Amino acid sequence: MPTKAALVALTIAATALAGCQNDKADTAQPAAGAAASSAPAGSGVAALSADEILQRAKAALTEAKSYQARGAMVQEGEQTEVDFKVSGDDFIGSLTFDKAKVELLAAGGKKYLRPNEQFWVMSTDAKQGKVLAKGIGDRWVTGAEKDESFAELFTLGTVEGFLKPTGALSKGEEKAIGGVPAIGLNDAGDPDSVLYIATTGEPYPLQLSGKNDSVVVFSDFGATFPGLKAPAANKVVDLGKLAG
């Protein structure tokens, strides 16, 4: 699912330049024999097709306008930590694996990227990476979204990008996620991943589970994230000028 796309995009970005928190959701089922009247009424989402459920989830997330997606996923033996806070068209997020980290920011109609030294070293070599890291420092790089090597990274700050399956969807098991009844969506393109959608209240995506007990949890629907703002001009480097 989407986190796999993030890993692929991150690897492509690194190659081009070369020229977990594991939040565990409560999955306990309601106790047998609990009074039927105490259970929340279903929204009817579970009766829809897998594709329709995903579309309902996308619409609910878009209407909420803001949310956080945080956790860790394992792909091809690599654990990648994911942390995104999204508010409309603006977002701030990060992808971390091993000691390499890249931060992403969209604010005021512009997009920015900020890798750490380990990312630069991984992307080039020890000597050049250290030179780049020293020259750029803690400044943000703008214009990166115009480079196809980086463009896909920024799609993770969008509902369509984060909830994009890699294959055909099918409905899976129903269980409680964090105490909320939900239904799983299985992705034929990534058999190890399951996206759980709430079946009571708004059909929000609640959790993306993967191999080795990796989990990304969705939360803070409709929240305000005050730190979402464009960096000061002296904290920005233009990628075009850097490359030129």
Beta bridge partners of 106: 91, 111
pTM for this entry: 0.79
Q: Is residue 155 part of a domain?
A: yes
Please provide the size of the chain in residues.
244
Classify each residue of 226-236 as buried b or exposed e, where b means 16 or more C-beta atoms within 10 Å of its C-beta: eebebbeeeeb
- Domain of 136: which CATH number? 2.50.20
What confidence tens digit (pLDDT) does each residue in 20-77 have? 223 333 433 433 443 334 446 789 999 999 999 999 999 999 999 999 999 998 766 7
pLDDT, position 124: 79
Q: Decide: helix, strand or coil at residue 140.
A: strand
Q: Is 134 contained in some domain?
A: yes
The four Cα atoms 79, 80, 81, 83 give a dihedral, to 10 degrees, of -160
Q: How far apart are CA 136 and CA 172, in angstroms?
A: 47
In a domain, 72, yes or no: yes
204, 197 Cβ separation under 8 angstroms = yes
In a domain, 56, yes or no: yes
Distance CA 90, CA 105 (A): 8
Give how far Cα 76 sits from Cα of 7, 11, 242, Å.
10, 12, 33
Tens of pLDDT, residue by residue over 163-218, are: 999 999 999 999 999 999 999 999 999 898 999 999 999 999 999 998 888 999 99
Q: How many CA atoms lie within 13 A of 201 on its CB side?
A: 14
Residue 108 lies in a domain: yes
Q: Which domain holds residue 6?
A: 2-28+40-223
- Residue 103: which of 158, 160, 157 has the closest Cα? 157
The DSSP H or E segment spanning 73 is strand 66-75
Distance CA 8, CA 15 (A): 11
Count of structural domains within the chain: 1
Residue 189 lies in a domain: yes
